[in-house]
Amino acid sequence: MRLSDLQIWTITPEIIVAIMACAILMIDVAMPERARKTIGFGLTVSTLLLAAIAVVVGQDAGYTIGLYGLVVQDRVSDIAKLGICLITAVALVYGRSYTEERNLLRGEFLALALFGTVGMMVMVSANHLITLYIGLELFSLCLYALIALHRDSAEATEAAMKYFVLGALASGILLYAMSLLYGLTGTLELAGIRQSVSGFSADDLPLAVALILVIVGLLFKLGAVPFHMWVPDVYAGSPTSVTAYLASAPKIAAFVIILRLLAISLEPLLEVWQDMLIAVALLSIGFGNLVAIAQRNMKRMLAYSTISHMGFFLLGILSGDSVGYSAAMLYAVIHAVVSLGVFGCILHFSGEGFEADQLDDYRGLSKTDPWLAFLMLLFMLSLAGVPPTVGFYAKLSVFQAVIGAGLLWVAVPAALFVVVGAFYYLRVVKLMYFDEPVAKTPVRSSAAPLESRALLTVNGLLIIGIMPWIGVIAEACRNAILLVGS
């Protein structure tokens, strides 16, 4: 056994972020109060950027197994890690002043955010059930703590509590499923599981139980109906900067574990899980869109919107071929970028003692702050899937995949609910552009740091689908998935 056999460089980004997270914790203690915020924050963002550079430098066009089968590096993990690092960094920049005003921008916040990022990246790299579970738990535990960090807020505490209890239940289910899988196949490595599972008949009962438990565990993390109950409470209860963090990058990580576990390792059971996912996906799309209409709270509305978007994401997965998987990957990336932008807008609009989380707060925003209103308009149109925004292309590719898989009857109700969904997205536009402003609404987007506003503008421009990046990303997703498939 030699050190070089470990192929340790496959997890360089994870190592960088983990070490820096520990360092930031210690530096935070040693630093004077005033310098903490700037230096700590700067270090955190540079760490994420450094990790992103490390991903790009160490990118692997092939398929490398590292740490004796515990981790894997391929195109999918590279793209996912790059996305996670960049999106997390941007989310932190957006949330900086918000977090600072609520006196949350301390070493713990930054370290937890970084550790959570490590968790996501480990999930992405996992080639082994244990690695996968460790990544998932590391991320979840950080998130519980991040939500609860706002100790004075009853809502935040309640949200953290609920999330923790339900998350524990889901983790238990997932862990139980893994133990069953291990018992049935005798291996924890994903490739080995696939090999072994293809020997089973499709109606083998223990294997089916294991599969269903895996699905339930994964669907909980995704927030699909009926395992979605935590989503609205957590989105609404968390500090908005944390919501921005948990609503964006984790969707990419979730895609990768679902791809590796369900779509690759358990692909021989496609017939079984496809039907279940169809039911769950349609329920999520219908339920999410319906309930979102009744919300008056912006963050809750976006939570239900996310539930419905996860339904669309599942449509890509359940198509069960490389077209579907790459559509789902594209959907996850685009949804992460759009969510980032939406919460970025809310963060820029909110201020000290003003959460900007009620729909009524947005009345007449176009008159008081046209820049922000226009960006919000772009994000809302993208969420609704209106061309030429990227949201349209994401939905289009998913629908193409579903129809290509011969599931036209699934695509039709999904498309109808897009129309229902358009209502509440356009309501925000209507409030901003056609209603009179409420006098007391403070306008502070111009008070936010310049770099943050510039980033948000770039984020908004990315949403216009005629930008070339969408083609680049779609191509990259397609190639990455094709590589995994072979």
Partner 1 sequence: METVYLLIPLVCLAAAVLVGLAGQWLGRRAAHSITIGAVAMAFVLSVVVAVEVAGGQRFDGSVYIWAVSDGIQFEIGFLIDQLSAVMMVVVTFVSLMVHVYTIGYMHDDPGYTRFFSYISLFTFAMLMLVMSNNFLQLFFGWEAVGLLSYLLIGFWFERESANFASLKAFLVNRVGDLGFLLGIAAILYVFGSLDYAAVFASAPQHATETMTGILGSQWRWLTIICLLLFVGAMGKSAQVPLHVWLPDSMEGPTPISALIHAATMVTAGIFMVARMSPLFELSQTALSVVLIIGAVTTISMALIALVQNDIKRVVAYSTLSQLGYMTVALGASAYSIAIFHLATHAFFKALLFLAAGSVIIALHHEQDMRRMGALWKRMPVTYLTALIGTLALVGIPPFAGFFSKDAIIEAVALSHTPGAKFAYVVVVAGVFVTALYSFRLIFMVFHGPSRLSEDNRKHARESPWVVTVPLILLAIPSVLAGLVLVGPTLSGHLFGESVMPIDGHGINGYGATDMLVHAWVSLPLWLAIAGIAVAWILYLRSPHAASRIANRFRLLHEILIRKYGVDELYERVFADGGQALGRTLWKFGDRLIIDDTLVNGTAKLVGRLSGVVRSLQTGYVYHYAFAMIIGLVALMSWFLWT
Query: Least distance in Å: CB of 169 to partner 1?
Result: 6
For residue 165, give every residue at least 6 positions away whose Cβ sits within 8 Å of its Cβ, in sequence order, or none.
Answer: none
| 72, containing H or E segment | strand 71-73
- Does residue 471 touch partner 1 according to CB under 8 A? no
- 366-to-302, 402, 435, 437, 477 alpha-carbon distances in Å: 20, 38, 9, 9, 36
Kindly provide the b/e burial profile for residues 61-96, where b requires at least 16 CB atoms within 10 angstroms of the residue's own CB.
eeeebbbebbbbbbbbbbbbbbbbbbbbbbbbbbbb
Shortest Å, Cβ 216 to partner 1: 5
Question: Residue 72 forms beta bridges with which residues?
Answer: 65
166 binds partner 1 (CB under 8 A): yes
Q: Which residues contact 363 (CB under 8 A, 6 or more apart)?
A: 431, 432, 435, 436, 437, 438, 441
Query: Which span sits near partner 1 by CB under 8 A: 6-14, 28-36, 161-169, 433-441?
Result: 161-169
Shortest Å, Cβ 272 to partner 1: 7
For partner 1, give the closer residue by CB, 94 or 287: 287
Contact with partner 1 (CB under 8 A) among 23, 60, 69, 162: 162
Strand (E) or helix (H) holding 64: strand 64-66
Which of the ranges 102-110, 135-143, 289-297, 353-361 carries the binding residues for partner 1, by CB under 8 A? 289-297
208 scored as a contact of partner 1 (CB under 8 A)? yes
Of residues 301, 286, 313, the one with CA closest to residue 417: 286
* Nearest CA-CA partner of 404 in 484, 322, 333: 322
Binding residue count for partner 1, defined by CB under 8 A: 35
Q: Based on CB atoms, which residue is closest to partner 1, 291 or 334?
A: 291
Tokens of 241: 């900067």
Taking the complex as a whole, how short is the minimal distance between the CB of residue 246 and partner 1, in angstroms? 17
Residue 25 found at the interface with partner 1 (CB under 8 A): no
Q: How far is CA 343 from the centre of its chain?
A: 13
Residue 227 binds partner 1, judged by CB under 8 A: yes
Task: Please identify, among the stretches 27-35, 216-224, 319-327, 460-468, the one whose residues bind partner 1 according to the rule CB under 8 A.
Answer: 216-224
Q: Which is nearer to partner 1, 166 or 443 (CB)?
A: 166
For partner 1, give the closer residue by CB, 279 or 408.
Answer: 279
CA distances from 226 to 25, 85, 98, 281 (A): 38, 30, 33, 10
183-197: burial string, b at 16+ Cβ within 10 Å, e else: ebbebbbbbbbbebb
Pick 206 or 449: Cβ nearer partner 1: 206
Binding window for partner 1 (CB under 8 A); candidates: 42-50, 169-177, 356-364, 389-397: 169-177
Note the helical H segments in 259-295: 270-293
Assess 209 for contact with partner 1 (CB under 8 A). Answer: yes
Shortest reach from residue 225's CB to partner 1, in Å: 8
Closest to partner 1 by CB, 134 or 420: 420
Structure tokens at 52: 């992103």
Among 67, 141, 276, 426, binds partner 1 (CB under 8 A): 276
Please identify which residue in 49, 57, 61, 293 interacts with partner 1, judged by CB under 8 A. 293
Stretch that binds partner 1, among 59-67, 286-294, 350-358, 470-478 (CB under 8 A): 286-294
Q: Shortest Cβ distance from residue 423 to partner 1 (Å)?
A: 8
In the Cβ-directed half-sphere of 284, how many Cα atoms lie within 13 Å? 28
Q: Is 170 in the site for partner 1 (CB under 8 A)?
A: yes
Q: Which of 91, 112, 156, 272 binds partner 1 (CB under 8 A)?
A: 272
The reply to whether 226 sits near partner 1 by the rule CB under 8 A is yes
* Segment (H or E) for 65: strand 64-66
Q: How many CB atoms lie within 10 A of CB 434?
A: 10
Ordered DSSP codes for 297-313: BHHHHHHHHHHHHHHHH
Region of 162-170, 192-200, 372-380, 383-391 interacting with partner 1 (CB under 8 A): 162-170
Q: Please report, as ranges, the residues that interact with partner 1 according to CB under 8 A.
A: 161-162, 165-166, 169-170, 173, 208-209, 212-213, 215-216, 219-220, 225-227, 229-230, 232-233, 272, 275-276, 279, 287, 290-295, 420, 423
